[in-house]
A and B are shown apart, each in its own frame.
Chain A
């Protein structure tokens, strides 16, 4: 038992979860390990069915792992029922008690912990103020809008000051405008309460704007964990690069020229790499490169770069997207901001070159 700040809030070690048995068995989680720090806004991001909810339910105690262990501040949780874990959940469907008032809903956790009535009342007022619902204590949940119910669910889960708050796609039922508002609200609540948030979403934009760190999941595995910048700028796997934002993929083989690593692309041209990760180059091994559309640049055909042909040009207000084709038919998208004199007047079919700075190239592991 070291200092509290140093211990991770949540630690998962080699967690696996198999539903069913025999031929119908579904491996919902496959050897997942992760560490969530104190006071962190941690997001699990991945497509539907990748195991996010399962991981959350294992942390909350609603399911038992088939293998592996979960630790809360260094203490093993395995076998503890949900009501003995100082972890609360905001359910996707809110799951507010329909027979209780808003105030009674918020006080429920405190009541279960045996807090005296005066303390509960005071805390309910405090929580209602925190989620900006003063004066709603005596309403029934059915009398509230979706956004208000969402706030009550948050207040209810936060009232008993859990060590960790689990949120399973809490915003997915809200319309776009309300969702944007609640994103800011959630971030504020997390900062104000200092509680560790584990947030689940399949919306990459939501994950990027809110999180301290993101774990990208697919098929029951965690593919990459990192800050939003790391995940966006330096994806390590093709799935991560593809799932988050738009990406161009270039296939090729690694060789060495003049002491620098060079990728011989399928289109027949070479691309110089000097970013990190060219270890093991020179063997002519296959490689996939990822380039974000806004990190590439279109230059006239007489300049340096990969030759390409212009397809569609789409004007989108703040920027313009150019859909190009490389010599071997590989599609490539370039996006550039629209500012004075920056717009290129390119007709469909025009020959151009694409300049890609070595720093803009991310080498993927698969």
Chain B
């Protein structure tokens, strides 16, 4: 490509670059800067005092005599967030894959209706959705009554609400469309004649699923898992409401540092730790699926 063509191209995308730079990179840079500043006494930061204290705080506690003691509180919160996000992604996959498979096998007209139905959670406010789950999961709520009625659980209050599982259920509900839609997209692209070919060569339904459908839907499944796992990791409304503050996740920790704890540098450092983890997850996804074969031809 000639030099002038390159610069012309650059000019064409310049507005987009400016917007990305101003609205994304600048705040990020600001956050990075905040994370290496001294915290102000009443929140905020002391703008000219540089320190790595926020990053040290993550793993160590400073004793009275200034020596560092290992503190795993924050690591535990990270570990719990990871665990809950993985559980959420697994639940969403377990529900989302059969849903997407079912949708992709429907006649063309009905598929669009089903896609619309799947996206309905998006149309409701996040708070409303979470309060709805509070009503469903609380003692004496619908879920408990159902379990009692089915005889699955003993006839006593179950305490479903304000547990990590309640958080995971709420997150699964919120992010399910992010799992269903990419899997549906990869299944819809899949040439149905490949499935017929598998049947033709003696594969029953289970083996056609394992040997042909699943491998060809793998890019969609991976995309769905990333799309559910990443926002779940940073979730903060759902753990607050359904976890009752007992199952704090990274998002709640960051929020509390900018709020009650008045430790902006630490909050910024945590946000960066989260961002790093997310970027690593994305990299794994890209390396694994960059050259993945598309379905069909």
- Whether, in the assembled complex, B198 has its beta carbon less than 8 Å from a beta carbon of chain A, the answer is yes
Knowing that A81-B204, A112-B203 are A-B contacts, what are 13 other residue pairs whose CB atoms are under 8 Å apart, sorted by A's residue number?
Answer: A62-B196, A62-B200, A83-B201, A88-B201, A93-B191, A95-B197, A98-B295, A98-B296, A108-B203, A108-B211, A109-B202, A112-B207, A142-B293
- B 177-210 contacts with A by CB, 8 A: 191, 193-194, 196-204, 207
Inter-chain contact B194/A97, CB cutoff 8 Å: yes
Inter-chain contact A83/B203, CB cutoff 8 Å: yes
The docked-state distance in angstroms from the alpha carbon of A87 to that of B211 is 20
Q: Which chain A positions have C-beta within 8 A of B201?
A: 83, 88, 108-109, 112, 156-157, 160
- Whether, in the assembled complex, B121 has its beta carbon less than 8 Å from a beta carbon of chain A, the answer is no
Q: Which of A83, A93, A97, A142 contacts B199 (CB 8 A)?
A: A83
- Whether, in the assembled complex, A43 has its beta carbon less than 8 Å from a beta carbon of chain B, the answer is no
- B 282-297 contacts with A by CB, 8 A: 293-297
Residue of B nearest to A98 (CB): B293
The docked-state distance in angstroms from the alpha carbon of A112 to that of B206 is 11
CB distance from A83 to the nearest CB of B (A): 5
Inter-chain contact B215/A82, CB cutoff 8 Å: no
Q: Which chain A positions have C-beta within 8 A of B198?
A: 97, 108
Inter-chain contact A89/B200, CB cutoff 8 Å: yes
Return the CB mask of B209-245 against A: 1 if under 8 Å, else 0.
0011001100000000000000000000000000000
Residue of A nearest to B202 (CB): A112
Of the four ranges (under 10, 10 to 19, 20 to 34, 35 or more), the interface on chain A belongs to: 20 to 34
- Whether, in the assembled complex, A140 has its beta carbon less than 8 Å from a beta carbon of chain B, the answer is yes
Return the CB mask of A78-97 against B: 1 if under 8 Å, else 0.
00011100011101010111
Inter-chain contact B199/A98, CB cutoff 8 Å: no
The CB with the most chain A CB atoms within 10 A, among B199, B293, B296, is that of: B199
- Whether, in the assembled complex, A60 has its beta carbon less than 8 Å from a beta carbon of chain B, the answer is yes
CB distance from A322 to the nearest CB of B (A): 48
Inter-chain contact A99/B200, CB cutoff 8 Å: no
Q: Which of A93, A97, A160 contacts B202 (CB 8 A)?
A: A160
Residue of A nearest to B196 (CB): A62
The docked-state distance in angstroms from the alpha carbon of A278 to that of B211 is 62
Q: Which of B194, B202, B295 contacts A113 (CB 8 A)?
A: B202
Q: Using a Cβ–Cβ cut-off of 8 Å, how many residues does chain B contribute to the interface with A?
A: 22
Q: Which chain B positions have C-beta within 8 A of A82?
A: 196, 199-200
The docked-state distance in angstroms from the alpha carbon of A62 to that of B193 is 11
Q: Which chain B positions have C-beta within 8 A of A81?
A: 199, 204
CB distance from A340 to the nearest CB of B (A): 54
Q: Which of B200, B203, B211, B297 contacts A98 (CB 8 A)?
A: B297
The docked-state distance in angstroms from the alpha carbon of A142 to that of B295 is 12
20 A-B pairs in the complex with CB atoms less than 8 angstroms apart: A60-B200, A62-B196, A62-B199, A62-B200, A83-B200, A83-B203, A83-B204, A87-B200, A89-B197, A91-B193, A95-B194, A98-B194, A98-B294, A99-B293, A113-B202, A142-B293, A156-B201, A157-B200, A157-B201, A160-B201
- B 29-80 contacts with A by CB, 8 A: none
Q: Which chain A positions have C-beta within 8 A of B216?
A: 98-99
The docked-state distance in angstroms from the alpha carbon of A89 to that of B204 is 16
Q: Which chain A positions have C-beta within 8 A of B211?
A: 108
Residue of B nearest to A114 (CB): B202
- A 267-325 contacts with B by CB, 8 A: none
Inter-chain contact B196/A95, CB cutoff 8 Å: yes
Q: Which 6 A-B pairs have the closest CB atoms?
A: A112-B202, A109-B201, A95-B197, A95-B193, A82-B199, A99-B215
The docked-state distance in angstroms from the alpha carbon of A99 to that of B294 is 8
CB distance from B192 to the nearest CB of A (A): 9
The docked-state distance in angstroms from the alpha carbon of A108 to that of B203 is 9
The docked-state distance in angstroms from the alpha carbon of A99 to that of B218 is 11
The CB with the most chain A CB atoms within 10 A, among B200, B204, B215, is that of: B200
Return the CB mask of A133-165 against B: 1 if under 8 Å, else 0.
000000010100000000000001100100000
Q: Which chain A positions have C-beta within 8 A of B296?
A: 98
Inter-chain contact A140/B197, CB cutoff 8 Å: no
The docked-state distance in angstroms from the alpha carbon of A62 to that of B295 is 21
CB distance from B212 to the nearest CB of A (A): 6
